[in-house]
């Protein structure tokens, strides 16, 4: 029962955390600022202006204030992700709201701001990984093929959500063999970020949405030649180079992903374009101007332009609040205008002990974000005011007396209102959050089915491996008899030494098969115990990964069997 409940709750945690991150996108985009998000799909054309027209699904699920699912009392789950302090606070607030409606579940939030991939892989290898965590494309590649991520498709079906409700460029990144292992928590694209003061110093017009890569290059060269600033910053990053290639009609691989296409005119033309910019001095890499990444170069006012995404908002707001910076649409290429999508997902540890608790958390977080997204559609009215007390006079004493006597008073009142007419971002977030509520609710039954299937498969594996052990033991005994008989024939001169050695090789192979079958049987028993409950928790063992042993060579010596009778 423990595993059953926890599986359901893990999925709820995903949806809740998904929506919490998305709901805060307009105010403070999430994601680690100094760790550039992993690149995902490609947007070949910039969408035209227009409103979303999809029908909003009816809201369902538990009533407000009720836990979305019946979770096991005392369930305790751990969630980890990267992110700056703003993103971390978003999730802390979401977890507190969840625990108000599901007080029987404890959620331990353990952010890992630095070296997330390295530390998570080590924890996964040591059996101490969190129950729910961020998944990027590299972690997807590392965990999903070996069964360390929980498939989410049946949960999605239970919640009434399909991959079609996400951007089509996002879900394939977290899909393997037709199964979904992560739900995108956010996404973003690149834009041309620039400093107006640099363009003022160079005496040239600011970038516009009509710019091409040639326009960008010409402006960068003017800045580099006529000011103390660098023109354009770009790191050695395929995601920054990709929009240039795609906009020139090129690609890095064939459509069926079976062949690299780097040696094509479309790719080489833009590679030469970039190399020429660097050679002429209109482009720099971060190290050329003592910066760790191009966003920092903008913040330190070292360069005029770069390509960056929404993570720049928090970076500039927190580290460089006094710097005036702007952003426009990415430049167009000779064939089209192209961009890349950056995304990360939230996934569930396949070895989690409490899937039900995490599922409940995810569903409730989706419900909370629905309210947040809906509020973003409402008009906003800001009222401010100030009172000033001063004085004037030819002498300082006159000023002090004027202040004392309140000779110079002034007050001001400001009212600023905004109505989100055509706010596609807010409307889209509201629509998505409502969909995600039903999505998470449909994922619950899959946990129960997966648990029963896992146990059933473990029992089947035991029976299969037990049969293999028995057959390999019989085979080994038969080979021992054959070797003994062949040695007798050798003593009588009826067999050769080669025939004896051949029989001994067969015996060695049979012994090896018996050992392998025995190991497989023991592993099947361990898998059954893990399916029925946490073996480590049951025995109170703290798992410590063993030191890596040197690899065994392909060729090893075999001691021949010697009959001493």
- pLDDT tens string 222-273: 999 999 999 999 998 888 999 999 999 999 999 888 999 999 999 999 999 9
Same domain, 74 and 180: yes
Q: H-helix or E-strand containing 345? A: strand 339-348
Strand, helix or coil at 329? Answer: coil
- Is the predicted pLDDT of residue 371 greater than 60, yes or no? no
Question: 356 near 71, Cβ under 8 Å?
Answer: yes
Same domain, 27 and 147: yes
Is 421 part of any domain? no
Residues in the chain: 565
Q: Please name the residue ranges forming H helices in 308-443.
A: 311-319, 355-375, 396-405, 424-441
Same domain, 11 and 90: yes
Closest by CA position to 31, among listed 233, 236, 349, 314? 314
> Mean pLDDT across the stretch 116-138?
91
Same domain, 121 and 163: yes
CA 284 vs CA 8, 118, 198, 261: distances in Å:
50, 30, 15, 26
Same domain, 231 and 297: yes
- 3-state secondary structure labels for all residues of 123-177: HHHCCCCCCEEEECHHHHHHHHHHCCECCCHHHHHHHCCCHHHCCCCCHHHHEEC
Question: 233 near 286, Cβ under 8 Å?
Answer: yes
Is 335 part of any domain? no
- Is the predicted pLDDT of residue 63 greater than 80, yes or no? no
- For residue 76, how far is the Cα from the chain centroid? 23
**Across 121-217, where does the E strand assignment appear?**
132-135, 175-176, 179-180, 183-188, 191-194
Question: 76 near 106, Cβ under 8 Å?
Answer: yes
Residue 137's Cβ-count burial label (10 Å; 0-12, 13-18, 19+) is middle
The confidence band for 199, taking pLDDT boundaries of 50, 70 and 90, is very high
Same domain, 108 and 242: no
Q: What is the per-residue pLDDT for 400?
A: 62
Is 515 part of any domain? yes
**Which residue range is the domain that position 231 belongs to?**
191-329
Is 305 part of any domain? yes
Residue 415, beta-bridge partner list: 383
Is 382 part of any domain? no
Same domain, 245 and 300: yes
Q: What is the per-residue pLDDT for 435?
A: 62
Is 9 part of any domain? yes
Is 384 part of any domain? no
Residue 104, beta-bridge partner list: none
Most confident among 51-55, 283-287, 405-409, 528-532 (mean pLDDT): 283-287
Q: What is the per-residue pLDDT for 280?
A: 96
User: Whole-angstrom Cα distance, residue 373 to residue 88?
Assistant: 19
Structurally, the chain folds into a number of domains equal to: 3
Q: What is the per-residue pLDDT for 304?
A: 97
Same domain, 148 and 264: no
Same domain, 252 and 104: no
Between the two ends of the chain, the Cα-to-Cα distance in Å is 59
The confidence band for 388, taking pLDDT boundaries of 50, 70 and 90, is low
Strand, helix or coil at 253? Answer: strand
Strand, helix or coil at 178? Answer: coil
Q: What is the per-residue pLDDT for 149?
A: 92
Q: What are the φ and ψ backbone dihedral angles of 105, each rounded to 5 degrees?
A: -115, 130
The β-bridge relationship of strands 303-308 and 191-194 is antiparallel
């Amino acid at each position: 029962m423990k595993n059953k409940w926890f599986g359901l709750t893990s999925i709820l945690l995903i949806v809740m955390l998904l929506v919490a991150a998305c709901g805060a996108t307009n105010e403070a985009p999430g994601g680690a600022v100094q760790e550039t998000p992993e690149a995902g799909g490609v947007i070949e054309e910039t969408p035209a202006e227009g409103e979303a027209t999809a029908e909003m699904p009816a809201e369902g699920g538990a009533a407000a204030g009720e836990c979305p699912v019946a979770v096991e009392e005392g369930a305790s789950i751990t969630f980890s992700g990267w992110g700056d302090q703003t993103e971390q606070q978003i999730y802390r607030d979401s977890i507190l709201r969840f625990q108000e409606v599901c007080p029987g579940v404890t959620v331990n939030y353990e952010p890992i701001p630095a070296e997330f991939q390295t530390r998570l892989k080590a924890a996964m290898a040591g059996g101490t990984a969190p129950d729910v965590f961020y998944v990027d494309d590299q972690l997807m590649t590392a965990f999903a093929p070996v069964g360390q991520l929980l498939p989410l498709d049946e949960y999605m079906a239970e919640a009434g959500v399909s991959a079609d409700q996400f951007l089509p460029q996002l879900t394939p990144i977290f899909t393997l063999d037709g199964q979904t292992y992560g739900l995108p928590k956010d996404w973003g694209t690149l834009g041309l970020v620039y400093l107006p003061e640099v363009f003022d110093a160079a005496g040239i017009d600011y970038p516009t949405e009509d710019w091409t890569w040639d326009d960008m290059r010409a402006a960068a060269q003017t800045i580099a030649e006529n000011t103390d600033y660098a023109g354009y910053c770009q790191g050695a990053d395929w995601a920054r180079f990709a929009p240039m290639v795609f906009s020139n009609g090129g690609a890095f691989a064939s459509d069926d992903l079976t062949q690299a296409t780097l040696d094509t005119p479309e790719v080489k033309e833009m590679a030469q374009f970039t190399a020429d910019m660097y050679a002429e001095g209109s482009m720099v890499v971060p190290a050329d101007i003592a910066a760790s990444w191009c966003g920092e170069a903008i913040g330190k006012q070292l360069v005029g332009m770069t390509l960056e995404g929404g993570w720049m908002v928090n970076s500039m707001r927190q580290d460089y609040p006094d710097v005036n910076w702007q952003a426009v649409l990415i430049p167009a290429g000779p064939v089209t205008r192209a961009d890349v999508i950056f995304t990360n997902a939230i996934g569930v540890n396949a070895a989690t002990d409490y899937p039900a608790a995490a599922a409940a958390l995810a569903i409730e977080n989706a419900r909370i974000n629905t309210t947040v997204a809906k509020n973003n559609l409402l008009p906003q009215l800001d009222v401010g005011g100030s009172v000033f007390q001063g004085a004037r006079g030819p002498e300082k004493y006159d000023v002090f007396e004027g202040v004392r006597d309140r000779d110079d008073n002034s007050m001001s009142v400001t009212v600023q209102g905004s109505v989100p007419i055509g706010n596609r971002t807010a409307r889209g977030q509201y629509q998505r959050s409502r969909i995600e509520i039903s999505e998470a609710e449909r994922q619950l039954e899959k946990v129960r089915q997966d648990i029963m299937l896992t146990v059933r498969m473990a029992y089947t594996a035991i029976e299969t491996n037990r049969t293999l052990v028995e057959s390999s033991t019989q085979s080994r005994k038969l080979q021992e008899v054959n070797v003994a008989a062949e040695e007798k024939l050798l003593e009588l001169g009826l067999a050769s030494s080669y025939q004896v050695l051949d029989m001994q090789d067969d015996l060695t192979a049979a012994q090896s098969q018996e050992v392998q079958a025995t190991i497989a049987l023991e592993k099947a028993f361990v898998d059954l115990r893990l399916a029925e409950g946490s073996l480590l928790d049951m025995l109170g063992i703290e798992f410590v990964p063993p030191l890596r042993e040197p690899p065994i060579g392909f060729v090893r010596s075999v001691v021949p069997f010697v009959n001493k009778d």
